[in-house]
Amino acid sequence: MARKTKAEAEVTRQVILDAAEKVFITKGVARSSLEEIARTAKVTRGAIYWHFCNKSDLFDAMLDRVRLPISALIDPTANAQTGELQALRNLCVYALRMLVEDQRYFRVYSILFHHTESERGLKKLAEMAEESINLMTRIFENHPPHPSLTPRQAARSLHTQVLGIYFDWLRNPRAYDLAQESEILIDTLFRGICPDSQSFLPAKDSQ
């Protein structure tokens, strides 16, 4: 019975998170209320407080359902000359394709980039950026970027350019086929940042 109760509680938690996505993407995070999320989820407000301390806690849990575990996906002990770079490149491509192929991923990152006016949302963006830049800096320390760039500058450059693709495509998903163009977009970035470490990239079109 205890296991069943725990399972039912988890179902309710997921229903609340699904409802939060719907409300946040419609009204924005700052203008959304727990009351409205409760109505959308068809639960009591007390049920929300059973699972989440407040709206910020709910927002964090919603984001955690889709956040890519960057440090887990890139092996820092890779021995191959371009092993870490290959993993980083593949992760960047995967992240772009997920925007197209996973509706939850699309909704949550749409909220994060275009429907978050709250201080909490902006703080989460800053935290995620710092985590990504720190990890990529360590990778570029092992695999030196273009001579004009320090490892941290290379990391910041890659991060901001990928971020720009996220922001632009989420603003108008019909503008182009991101899934189809993800590899060429990411490979172009890597060619500029790491011109001497490209054994993992496909050859450029001779035309």
Q: Per-residue pLDDT tens for 35-85? A: 999 999 999 999 999 999 999 899 999 988 887 666 555 555 544 545 888
Give dist(CA 13, CA 41) in Å, integer.
Answer: 10
pLDDT value, residue 76: 52
Average pLDDT over residues 15-30: 94
pTM passes above 0.85: no
Is 157's pLDDT higher than 50? yes
Is 199's pLDDT higher than 70? no
CA distances from 143 to 23, 51, 96 (A): 43, 44, 23
pLDDT value, residue 97: 95
